[in-house]
């Protein structure tokens, strides 16, 4: 299975000024797999897994000097660690805080050695220690995007067609085929193990079994980062997130029996674990959008659409008959699909934030599902199933904010009408390309 981040890792390997790389992301999104695959390029690959071998933490308690550590780790693994020829992988590094600290010294004293660290719950430790700026690089890993899903299904030709078509309407036969694939992807999601099971068996029930196992794993992780009395709050919030998809998140909808403060702490922990993403309301008057957020108004999206559907208990059979995801769960699944895609195609070297816009007025409520920045301009995005003519909120936003273009995401084919670019669900990847579709809109406006 090919992942897009492999190209980023290859660039890191070739970079003469590289720093130790820390890979961040939720459990089971493919962090370790990516590094092990990269390790095949080296003469030697040494993996230190602190979860499987917790006793190895004692070596880092002895010293954080790179040369001494290399000698100790070489003796333990039986593999010679040589700068330029060996990839050293420190997995589940959050278990050993001293190992995290050692990364800065690898950069300062042994910069030629390729060092990668990863951990599913790493953010909890990073919040507790001070990492000098400029000593470490980060790379964020998410579930497979829809584009990666197509590649995994050996439909790379369809993915290439979408990108190279430059937001022009595809022939109907390909459009319909891709809409069907979005329906399948929305149920399977992007967890690598689930996708692989679908490839191997073409059995959605088998995929559901893997999804259930993964969800149980996440729940078991609660004990690793929460106090005993907080577990009940985590369980409540964890289950509630998919049910509140697409709406302003309300703690009263999670539980009327618990304090909002306790539930908010639980939500923050789920975000650090990578299983939840907060989308804040922004006034969106200018860039950066994040500078105008209202922390009291936010939506919350589960990090994987397939796992969210498993929690919701939605039946896949109607989806097979009608793959229009904008009709599922009152359109909430379509909004989650879009959120996951926008995140997946973001810059993997930076933490990504999504935003939305909502105007609450007695006579004129309006809401934009997502507001993004592209080439220094603000672009509103609405996720819909109707035609451009029904996009009241989008038109209102464009007029009041004087934006030059808007995006409608739906099952509707690629088209451009009145500076509103219609993008089908399968085409969200084009938004990550510098020349699409904003450059076209600029030419039309000018």
| Residue carrying the six token digits 């020829």 | 85
Which ranges of 141-259 would DSSP assign to H, the alpha helix? 146-152, 156-164, 172-188, 192-201, 204-225, 231-243, 251-254
Q: How far apart are CA 194 and CA 292, in angstroms?
A: 38
Sign of CA dihedral 130, 134, 136, 139: positive
Cβ atoms 308, 211 nearer than 8 A: no
Q: 150 and 136: one domain?
A: no
- Phi-psi bin for 207: left (phi > 0), alpha (psi -120 to 50), beta? alpha
Q: 116 and 264: one domain?
A: no
Q: 131 and 243: one domain?
A: no
Among 178, 184, 51, smallest CA distance to 122 is for: 51
- 267 is written with which tokens? 């939500």
202: containing domain = 146-445
Q: 88 and 120: one domain?
A: yes
- Given 88, 119, 140, the domain boundary residue is 140
Q: 125 and 257: one domain?
A: no
Q: 203 and 132: one domain?
A: no
Tens digits of per-residue pLDDT, 388-406?
456 889 999 999 998 888 9
Helix (H), strand (E) at residue 279 = strand 276-282
- For position 443, what pLDDT does the model report? 46
Q: 369 and 425: one domain?
A: yes
Residue 294, judged by CB atoms within 10 A of its CB (0-12, 13-18, 19+), counts as exposed
Beta bridge partners of 280: 298, 355
- Given 140, 155, 170, the domain boundary residue is 140
- For position 321, what pLDDT does the model report? 63
Q: 309 and 422: one domain?
A: yes
- The parts of the chain modelled with pLDDT lower than 70 are 132, 318-321, 327, 329-330, 362-363, 385-390, 434-446
**Distance of alpha carbon 375 from the chain centroid:** 21
- For position 362, what pLDDT does the model report? 65
Q: 387 and 286: one domain?
A: yes
- For position 445, what pLDDT does the model report? 40
**Distance of alpha carbon 318 from the chain centroid:** 27
- 122 is written with which tokens? 């790493």
pTM of the model: 0.93
Q: 362 and 422: one domain?
A: yes
Q: How far apart are CA 135 and CA 137, in angstroms?
A: 7
When divided into structural domains, the chain yields a total of 2
- For position 425, what pLDDT does the model report? 96
Q: 262 and 281: one domain?
A: yes
What torsion, rounded to 10 degrees, do the Cα atoms 232, 236, 241, 242 define?
120
What torsion, rounded to 10 degrees, do the Cα atoms 306, 310, 313, 318 define?
30
Q: CATH code at 108?
A: 3.40.50.300
CA distance readout (Å), 85 to 42, 95, 321, 411 = 6, 27, 53, 49
Q: How does DSSP classify residue 25?
A: -
- Given 114, 140, 166, the domain boundary residue is 140
- For position 434, what pLDDT does the model report? 63
Q: How far apart are CA 364 and CA 377, in angstroms?
A: 25
Cβ atoms 250, 267 nearer than 8 A: no
Q: 83 and 184: one domain?
A: no
């Amino acid at each position: 299975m090919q992942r897009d981040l492999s190209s980023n890792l290859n660039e890191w390997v070739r970079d003469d000024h590289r720093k130790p790389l820390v890979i961040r992301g939720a459990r089971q999104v493919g962090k370790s797999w990516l590094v092990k695959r990269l390790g095949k390029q080296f003469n030697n690959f040494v993996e230190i897994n602190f979860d499987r071998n917790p006793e190895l933490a004692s070596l880092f308690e002895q010293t954080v000097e790179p040369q001494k550590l290399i000698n100790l780790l070489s003796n333990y693994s039986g593999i010679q660690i040589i700068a330029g020829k060996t990839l050293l992988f420190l997995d589940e590094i959050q278990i050993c805080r001293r190992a995290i600290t050692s990364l800065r010294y690898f950069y300062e004293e042994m910069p030629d050695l390729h060092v990668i660290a990863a951990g599913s719950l790493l953010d909890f430790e990073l919040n507790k220690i001070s990492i000098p700026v400029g000593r470490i690089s980060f790379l964020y890993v998410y579930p497979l995007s829809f584009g990666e899903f197509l590649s995994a299904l050996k439909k790379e030709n369809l993915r290439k067609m979408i990108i190279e078509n430059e937001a022009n309407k595809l022939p109907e036969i390909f459009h319909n085929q891709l809409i069907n694939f979005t329906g399948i992807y929305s149920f399977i999601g992007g967890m690598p193990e689930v996708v692989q099971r679908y490839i191997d068996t073409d059995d959605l029930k088998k995929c559901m079994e893997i999804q259930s196992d993964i969800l149980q794993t996440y729940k078991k992780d609660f004990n690793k980062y929460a106090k005993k009395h907080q577990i009940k709050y985590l369980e409540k919030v964890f289950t509630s997130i998919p049910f509140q998809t697409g709406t302003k998140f309300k703690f009263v909808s999670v539980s009327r029996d618990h304090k909002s403060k306790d539930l908010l702490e639980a939500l923050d922990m789920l975000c650090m674990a990578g299983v939840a993403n907060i989308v804040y309301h922004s006034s969106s008057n200018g860039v950066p959008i994040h500078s105008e957020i209202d922390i009291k108004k936010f939506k919350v999206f589960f990090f994987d659409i397939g796992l969210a559907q498993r929690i919701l208990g939605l039946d896949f059979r109607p989806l097979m008959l009608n793959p229009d995801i904008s009709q599922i769960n009152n359109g909430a699944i379509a909004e989650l699909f879009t959120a996951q895609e926008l995140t997946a195609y973001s810059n993997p070297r930076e933490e990504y934030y999504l935003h939305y816009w909502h105007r609450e007025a007695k006579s004129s409520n309006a809401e934009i599902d997502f507001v993004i920045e592209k080439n220094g301009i603000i672009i509103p995005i609405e996720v819909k199933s109707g035609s451009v003519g029904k996009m009241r909120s989008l038109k209102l936003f464009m007029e009041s904010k004087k934006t030059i273009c808007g995006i409608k995401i739906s099952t509707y084919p690629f088209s451009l009408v009145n500076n509103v670019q219609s993008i089908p669900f399968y085409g969200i990847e084009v938004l990550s390309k510098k020349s699409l579709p904003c450059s076209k809109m600029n030419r039309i406006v000018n």
